[in-house]
């Protein structure tokens, strides 16, 4: 699945032309702002539709639609922006990097995304009473730290969906020393060493 194009992305996801156009506009904004801020790795541009767009999109099969999602460490907007464009879920994006939040607000404005809220904060400092259906994160922190940082937000029915790489098994072992939880591993569709974790029923030991 090398060098996925926007056309192949559309055929694999079956999204509408309107959503595809918004994704292309989002990509153009990334390219524009990349000149000022280091939003993503320069090496990933050659295969961005697979490495970032499809990788993000794959979690929608797990999230579904019309859910409330907290995305931790949103960075340039993966997976939250892609998923917000392609669904009716409401996403709260949290990132402590001011420059990246400026970019995210520009994306929200230019693409007219009404289903995202951007918080320029550390997750530990976020004060919200919203009950989230899911908490997501992509390549930000260890499993143990994500469970710790988001402790105010994972209620009884809140599930975590975490996009993780090859160190995931060690991360889970460390997390189990401090937390009880159920976990399911799903192989990533974009990276043979990647996994999508579904974690539920989290309790501190």
| Six token digits for residue 167 | 């160190």
As a whole-number percent, the residues of the chain with pLDDT over 70 amount to 99
The answer to whether 139 touches 77, Cβ cutoff 8 Å, is no
How does the average pLDDT of the chain come out, rounded?
95
- Give 167's contacts (C-beta < 8 A, 6+ positions apart): none
Convert the pLDDT of each residue in 124-172 to its tens digit. Answer: 999 998 899 999 999 889 999 999 999 999 888 999 999 998 889 999 9
pLDDT of 106: 98
Is 1 contained in some domain? Answer: no
> Within a 10 A sphere around the Cβ of 67, how many other Cβ atoms?
15
In a domain, residue 113? The reply is yes
> Is 90 exceeded by the pLDDT of residue 43?
no
**Count of domains for the chain:** 1
User: Cβ–Cβ contacts within 10 Å for residue 95, how many?
Assistant: 25
Q: How do residues 168-191 score in pLDDT, each as one tens digit? A: 999 999 999 999 999 999 999 999
Please report whether residue 124 resides in a domain. yes
Q: Residue 77 pLDDT > 80, yes or no?
A: yes
Across the range 23-38, mean pLDDT stands at: 95
Per-residue confidence band for 118, with pLDDT thresholds at 50, 70 and 90: very high
DSSP 8-state class, residue 61: H
Query: Could you list the residue range(s) of the whole structural domain that residue 30 is in?
Result: 6-204
Q: What is the pTM of this model?
A: 0.95
How many CB atoms lie under 10 A from the CB of residue 154? 22
The domain that contains 136 carries what CATH number? Answer: 3.40.50.150
- pLDDT of 24 reads 98
The predicted model gives 32-50 an average pLDDT of 91
| Rounded CA separation 121/55 (Å) | 25
For residue 162, being part of any structural domain is answered with yes
């Amino acid at each position: 699945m090398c060098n996925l194009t926007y056309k192949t992305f559309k055929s694999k996801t079956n999204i509408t032309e309107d959503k595809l156009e918004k994704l292309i506009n989002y990509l153009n904004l990334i390219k524009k702002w990349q000149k000022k801020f280091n939003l993503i790795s320069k090496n990933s541009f050659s295969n961005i539709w697979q490495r970032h767009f499809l990788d993000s999109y794959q979690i929608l099969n797990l999230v579904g639609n019309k859910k409330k999602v907290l995305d931790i460490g949103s960075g340039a907007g993966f997976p939250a922006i892609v998923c917000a464009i392609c669904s009716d879920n409401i996403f709260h994006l949290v990132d402590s990097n001011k420059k990246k939040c400026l970019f995210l607000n520009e994306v929200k404005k230019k693409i007219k995304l009404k289903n995202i809220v951007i918080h320029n904060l550390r997750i530990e400092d976020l004060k919200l009473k919203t009950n989230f259906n899911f908490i997501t994160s992509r390549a930000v922190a260890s499993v143990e730290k994500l469970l710790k940082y988001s402790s105010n937000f994972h209620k009884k029915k809140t599930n975590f969906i975490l996009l993780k790489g090859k160190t995931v098994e060690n991360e889970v072992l460390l997390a189990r020393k401090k937390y009880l939880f159920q976990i399911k591993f799903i192989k990533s569709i974009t990276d043979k060493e990647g996994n999508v974790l579904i974690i539920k029923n989290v309790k501190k030991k």
